[in-house]
Structure 1
Amino acid sequence: MQIHPEMATVLEQFKDAPPMDFVNTPVPEIRKLMDHMAFPPGNLPMHEVRELGIPGGDGQGMKLRLYRPSTAQSAPVMVYFHGGGWCIGTLDTHDNLCRHLARITGMNVVSVDYRLAPEHVFPAALDDAYAATRWVADHGAELNCDASQLMVAGDSAGGNLAIATCLRAKEDGWKGITQQLLFYPVCDSRMDAPSHGLYAQMPILTREAMAAMWRHYHPSAPAHPLASIMQYPDVAGLPPAVLVTAELDILRDEGEDFAKRLQQVGVPVSTMRAEGMLHGFANFSTLVPTVARLLEAACSRLRNHSGRTVG
């Protein structure tokens, strides 16, 4: 149960930060703390970064941010959903990660500022995620995006939204999503996989915090299978996936179990377990060299699934 030395060194820089106590602290207060803990901007220039306003899942305005790493007139596109337990996180908290993914893949990346809980409970975030994905598909040409090469991606709760977006597309009979890139996705509201006990008090995400996030996002029980996606009855026909877990993460086993479910019904899945890594490690890609290499390895598997080089 040893944290990777590079990650441990970086965590030392955050040791005096106030704890993210989702059990006892109101979520708006935690968001204020997050505003003062932004990661330093990485040296990851883009050809273009553009703010977009579109109709959200409720018909109200929603913000997106488009990252174009090159001058390509029609690049593949990744629609990205940030993590934060459906409660915290913004376009800015994941700015470095989205830039890094765009640089690695050569894809355009569209980051989605979906509605957050507890003000907006399930299915608000999913409604926004799906609306954003369909909007990008419909407006690809004006965004210099090739909508025939559209994929979804996300970390933690954002990984959950990426999977749920694919499930909703399946329900609608829409085949516009070609791939998924999933970093330590939230998969099961039951939280009964062994890793929940093994790593319940590890830094960044404790078991108590995850339980509180579930209560904020989906206060009624039992959880809907488009929220607790491990309980979705039929996952056949979903797009190929690259699913990355962290060794020292409560969500490790449920993510790997979900990957097995996909494989059992014939969905191509490439899994990676990041040894010595904690939940949330992808956000450290501009600070931890090993994390940068892990992102590159994950994205290289996307190219294998598609049968072509991305970018």
Structure 2
Amino acid sequence: MFTDVKDTDVYDYRKSKEERYGTYMRELRRKDHSIKKSVRTALGYLDIYIYYPKELKTNIVYFNAHGGGMCLSNFELDMPYCQKICDAIGCIVVNVDYFVAPEYKFPKTYTSMYEMIKYCNEHRDEFAFGDAKFVIGGNSAGGQISAAVIQLEKQDHEDFIKGLVLNYAPCDQHIDQTKVIDQQKAISPSRIHQYQAWEYNDASEIEDPLSSIVNSDPRIYPPTLENTAELDSLRAGEEQFAEMLQKQGTYVDYKCYSGCQHGFTHQELHEYNAEASEDAWKRIEAFLKKLAKNEGRK
């Protein structure tokens, strides 16, 4: 299934992103006010960037996982939005520079991410996290990673992650192109195939619940928020995941943004939709505040 894509093909793909966003990302780094920390995992040190509010108003630590098809390390693109959430509701936000494929194939991204967040929970004083509730979420691939981390947490018989946020996340690795409204405005099948080839050792791994979270047990998830895009090729899987949680009685706040494409929340992307983006981030902020007040429920 993946013999037509080489791992080394990723370098040209990354180069294209560097040419498009490199200057912008370096400027974001220059202006950024986060505090960098590193957490040792079995794969080595994983870097995190922590945003502390001037005044803690919402007792939440929100761990953010950026997008990038599991193969891009462009965590800088999420810097403005991490700062935005931190400033808007006065909570701590952690932007995670996780390990990516093909250098780190399935399931290494997920297991190392879980190691990091577990370490943070067990060493709260080191990061000044106090008794804040941990919530995890992300954009695109970062959302899938976040859901996978919750699966690993439950396998580890732990229960310290109290909420999940998904922005247009791949919930099902089997993309039904017949459900795509506009092929020109959705992620192309060839690009999805590349992402999967770089991420997985063999095709069977796309069935794993860590990969296709619609194959996981819906009973394990905490209160969840989903922002999806009508024109996204990932929408059907997101809808299915939301329905799974609803049927189990798990709190899920789902919204599909009409006329929007994958990536609509990020200003630097051509898919950006200013009005929908502002609403999506406000929904995340409101969700985090709700969880802090124990208003989220199963």
Q: Tell me which interval the TM-score lies in, with the shorter structure as reference length.
A: 0.7 to 0.9
User: Aligned in 2, Cα 1:268/1:27: closer, same or farther, shift over 3 Å?
Assistant: same
Map 1:217-296 onto structure 2 (within 5 A): 217-222=199-204, 223=206, 224-232=208-216, 234-284=217-267, 289-290=274-275, 291-296=277-282
2:32 counterpart of 1:50? no
Superposed CA offset, 1:199-258 (max 9, x none): 43316x3232112211211241222221121112x2203110001101110011111111
Matches of 2:295 and 2:164, distance apart in 1? 16
User: Aligned in 2, Cα 1:193/1:168: closer, same or farther, shift over 3 Å?
Assistant: farther
Q: CA deviation at 1:105?
A: 3.2
Q: CA deviation at 1:59?
A: 4.2
Match of 1:172 in 2: 156
Matches of 1:288 and 1:103, distance apart in 2? 22
Q: CA deviation at 1:98?
A: 1.8
Superposed CA offset, 1:50-89 (max 9, x none): 1111113x24111111112324399420111111110113
User: Aligned in 2, Cα 1:136/1:90: closer, same or farther, shift over 3 Å?
Assistant: farther
Deviates further, 206-215 or 178-187: 206-215
Match of 1:16 in 2: none
Paired AA for residue 238 in structure 2: G
Q: Please point out which of 161, 172, 182 is paired with 1:188.
A: 172
2:41 counterpart of 1:87? no
User: Aligned in 2, Cα 1:175/1:148: closer, same or farther, shift over 3 Å?
Assistant: farther
2:43 counterpart of 1:62? no
User: Aligned in 2, Cα 1:220/1:125: closer, same or farther, shift over 3 Å?
Assistant: same
Paired AA for residue 13 in structure 2: I
Deviates further, 221-230 or 25-34: 25-34
- Structure 2 segments unaligned to the other structure (5+ residues): none
- Structure 1 segments unaligned to the other structure (5+ residues): 1-21
Matches of 2:157 and 2:49, distance apart in 1? 27
Matches of 2:273 and 2:74, distance apart in 1? 21
Q: Please point out which of 30, 34, 49 is paired with 2:17.
A: 34
Matches of 2:261 and 2:8, distance apart in 1? 23
Q: CA deviation at 1:294?
A: 2.5
Matches of 2:290 and 2:57, distance apart in 1? 23
User: Aligned in 2, Cα 1:128/1:199: closer, same or farther, shift over 3 Å?
Assistant: farther
Match of 1:102 in 2: 86
- How many residues in Structure 1 have an aligned counterpart in Structure 2? 282
Match of 1:300 in 2: 286
Aligned to 2:34, the other structure's residue is in SS state strand
Q: CA deviation at 1:194?
A: 4.3
The two structures have a TM-score, normalised by structure 1, of: 0.81
Match of 2:189 in 1: 207
Aligned to 1:178, the other structure's residue is in SS state strand
Paired AA for residue 102 in structure 1: C
Match of 2:198 in 1: 216
CA contact (8 A) 1:66 1:111 kept: yes
CA contact (8 A) 1:237 1:267 kept: no
The two structures have a TM-score, normalised by structure 2, of: 0.84
Identity of paired residues, percent?
24
Paired AA for residue 217 in structure 1: E
User: Aligned in 2, Cα 1:84/1:174: closer, same or farther, shift over 3 Å?
Assistant: same
User: Aligned in 2, Cα 1:96/1:127: closer, same or farther, shift over 3 Å?
Assistant: same
